[in-house]
Structure 1
Amino acid sequence: MIYLDYQATTPLAPEAREAMLRWLGGPDSDTFGNPHSPHRMGRMAAAAVETARERVGALLPEGGKLIFTSGATEALNMVLQGTPGDVITFATEHAAVLDCAKVVEAQGRRFTVLPVTPDGRADLDALQAAITPQTGLVAVMAINNEIGVRNPLAPVVAIAQAVGARVLVDAVQAYGKVPVEVAADYIAISAHKVHGPKGIGALWIGPDASPPLPLLWGGGQEASLRSGTLSPALCAGFGAAAQVAQEGFSEQLFHVEHLWNIAREAFADWELNGSAVDRWRGNLNIRKEGLDVARLMSDCRNVMFSAGSACASGSGRPSHVLRALGLSDRQAKSSIRLGFGRYTTAQDVESAAAMINTAAKEQGL
């Protein structure tokens, strides 16, 4: 099988797996301790957690505080639900942001969803027109999970700061791939999108940002903001994945660029969704008018790719991201997403493209 769904999840790095194994801890080991216990085994586990915290934080802006969470969804919810003031976000954001509208509005706060430009980037003019002194938070993606487009984060931050609003960046698709150096107040990340384990993410809180109210109560193990016993194994896996990403940063950029060029040539007669310039090139979202994507996926069952985000798969609804670009339902439903990265080979991309193109031609396209 050929795996081209890197936006949904990434293969676990061998280094991350090795780091995790030590802290899974059987009954005959000394590595199963609770990292919040005061005895020696607890202190050993706590040291592993703190080493991981340093490694994960090394790919984020200096200063601030890193809080481990169950994933980016929890991190985003923590800030959206626990930060005062009205919220502004954009139509192409992940459901983990957009679906918080009901909770935010139930608190008596406004939740405004702004349009994006035709190439999929945050509409800065719309933000400038919508923001008010009552705005407490602006939530924006660094890189879109469906179309790979990079948002203009620095201007978003400048507009927000001009009225005293905080900025929450969903950096799930950016972390470990491109520099995350924006002067945001909060940054949410997830381990399994950077070759770490599923079930763990983190919230970075800037040095000048007020901590949000907790979502979970019952111990406050993570800086009094998040309750629950941390998993040293998951933390260690995340830390190892972050370290590998940091050490191979330039190499991965070069590799992904090479794969992008191969893919673009192979799919030259397909339409690209989203900006061709301002994007992460490990994400290729393309369409062919009239394409039956369900049939295509059945005919290419040995190629793992997507018709949208994994979170919305099977819903039958056209992608809200593609609709936000101005595509019709028909065009949105004729689109596929190919994602590639560290462990993808040129042969993988070439073989997958040949199979997909052949299957599309069999549909008369």
Structure 2
Amino acid sequence: MSRFLYLDNAATTKTAPEVLEAMLPYFTEKFGNPSSVYQFAAENKTVVDEMRKIIAESLGAKSKEIYFTAGGSEADNWALKATAEAYQAKGRHIITTKIEHHAILHTAEYLERQGYEVTYLDVDEDGKVDLEELKAAIRPDTILISVMYANNEIGTVEPIREIGEIAHEHGILFHTDAVQAYGHLPINVDECYIDMLSASGHKLNGPKGIGFLYIRTGVKIRSFIHGGAQERKRRAGTENVPGIVGMGAAVKRAFDTMEERTAREKEVRDYLIRRVENEIPYCRLNGHRTDRLPNNANFSFQFIEGESLLIRLDMKGICASSGSACTSGSLDPSHVLLAIGLPHEIAHGSLRLTINEEISKEDVDYVVDSLKEIVEGLRNMSPLYEDFVKKQEKNV
């Protein structure tokens, strides 16, 4: 392998050196349990509170509204299950979308088995929620709307402020899974009427195994993990101090560099999209062309199978994906691509490339040149493509 390029940053990111450096002392010299009463441990409680403040300020929230979790999936589960339990006397109806991460979809399916009703909103061909359809789905017994901030597969950014405003006007709680968006887009929970928000450290150059749930003051959801009195009695378990320190450092880094970093990523992303669309026939850009995450490009290539494409890219030292890392073992096409209207045979030929600030246009040139070669090779092996070419030649 002559070259290695990592273009799967939606799946996870490498921990930044300064983040790791901040974390290391809390594995060794500063290992105290923040819940203990002596000074050695109390210093760690102070550090945890400092990290909580950094995160709160990044959202325009209060420190007491940030609750640390083991990651985005736990935060999503907590938001849906605890809201359902706490507000069941008001109603048992929840609204979400067909393109959510499986941490939301599978939790919603679990709640349906417990007697709750869930409406799964359609999206348009770009992956956007229709606000009128959302309004029409609201019922007197609706207790929660959960819509992701930006899609993890196709990168489309949803009209979160408008959705939050609709929820607020109807007195319905609004949760957003911001795992892909947080640290990549500016977010203000008050401006967007967000009552709960999920985020994860490893999507923004922080460590794995740490995340948080923002819970607006006044939202009456209960503990998700029972045991001790940590996290103001709402999330039991000894605090992951190294992880919390790492998350705080990653958040500070992400927001300090956001403007310059995302501008560079957009430039490289758009260069990638232009080259692919101009040089590889029978391909489609998935997701909204402009309202998308700065580092995301998702394509479908006709007449090929995505897994074969990924294997051949890997042989050239290029790490990519066909969709969510959480469903990488599935033979089914992406539920997101099916939801935006792609037929199965095209959805199966999808490729997600997610860059970071280190990826250059020269790197993109290598990726696109490799991709052109691979797609051509796979199509030459495809009887479907051969039949298609013959039909095209007959019609000339």
TM-score by length of 2: 0.88
Q: How does 1:96-135 map to 2 (within 5 A)?
A: 96-135=103-142
Q: How does 1:1-365 map to 2 (within 5 A)?
A: 1-25=4-28, 29=29, 31-63=30-62, 65-83=65-83, 84=87, 85=91, 86-181=93-188, 182-207=192-217, 209-268=218-277, 269=280, 270-301=283-314, 302-364=317-379
Q: Residues 246-293 of structure 1: CA distance to partner in whole angstroms, max 9, x if unpaired?
A: 111111121111111220122024310121021113110101111222
* 1:151 CA displacement: 0.4
Identity of aligned residues (%): 36
Question: Which aligned runs of 4 or more in structure 1 are off by greater than 4 angstroms?
Answer: none
Q: Which residue of 1 aligns with 2:386?
A: none
Given that 1:133 and 1:164 are in contact with CA atoms closer than 8 Å, whether structure 2 keeps it comes out as: no
Q: Which residue of 1 aligns with 2:393?
A: none
* 1:364 CA displacement: 3.3
Q: What SS is found at the alignment partner of 2:366?
A: helix
User: Which amino acid in 1 is paired with 2:237?
Assistant: G
Q: What SS is found at the alignment partner of 1:21?
A: helix
Given that 2:168 and 2:193 are in contact with CA atoms closer than 8 Å, whether structure 1 keeps it comes out as: no
How far apart in 2 are the matches of 1:273 and 1:179?
23
User: Which amino acid in 2 is paired with 1:69?
Assistant: T
User: Which amino acid in 2 is paired with 1:38?
Assistant: V
How far apart in 2 are the matches of 1:114 and 1:341?
31
Q: Residues 24-46 of structure 1: CA distance to partner in whole angstroms, max 9, x if unpaired?
A: 11xxx3x1110111111111111
How far apart in 2 are the matches of 1:344 and 1:57?
30
Q: What SS is found at the alignment partner of 1:276?
A: coil
How far apart in 2 are the matches of 1:135 and 1:220?
31
Distance 1:297 1:106, change over 3 A: closer
Structure 2's unaligned 5+ residue stretches are: 381-396
Q: Residues 54-111 of structure 1: CA distance to partner in whole angstroms, max 9, x if unpaired?
A: 1222221233610000011111111100112321000000101010123322443211
Q: What SS is found at the alignment partner of 1:255?
A: helix
RMSD over equivalenced CA pairs, Å: 1.4
How far apart in 2 are the matches of 1:74 and 1:328?
32
Moved more, 285-294 or 224-233: 285-294
* 1:128 CA displacement: 1.0
Given that 1:252 and 1:342 are in contact with CA atoms closer than 8 Å, whether structure 2 keeps it comes out as: yes
User: Which amino acid in 2 is paired with 1:205?
Assistant: I
How far apart in 2 are the matches of 1:116 and 1:56?
31
TM-score by length of 1: 0.95
How far apart in 1 are the matches of 2:299 and 2:54?
35
How far apart in 2 are the matches of 1:160 and 1:46?
36
Higher Cα radius of gyration: 2
Q: What SS is found at the alignment partner of 1:51?
A: helix
How far apart in 2 are the matches of 1:92 and 1:166?
20
Higher relative helix content: 2
How far apart in 1 are the matches of 2:369 and 2:359?
16
Given that 2:72 and 2:200 are in contact with CA atoms closer than 8 Å, whether structure 1 keeps it comes out as: yes
Q: Residues 329-365 of structure 1: CA distance to partner in whole angstroms, max 9, x if unpaired?
A: 1111011000012232332222112111211111237
* 1:162 CA displacement: 2.3
Structure 1's unaligned 5+ residue stretches are: none
User: Which amino acid in 1 is paired with 2:226?
Assistant: W
Given that 1:168 and 1:185 are in contact with CA atoms closer than 8 Å, whether structure 2 keeps it comes out as: yes
How far apart in 2 are the matches of 1:4 and 1:356?
13
How far apart in 2 are the matches of 1:211 and 1:74?
18
User: Which amino acid in 2 is paired with 1:178?
Assistant: L
Moved more, 45-54 or 238-247: 45-54
How far apart in 1 are the matches of 2:77 and 2:229?
17
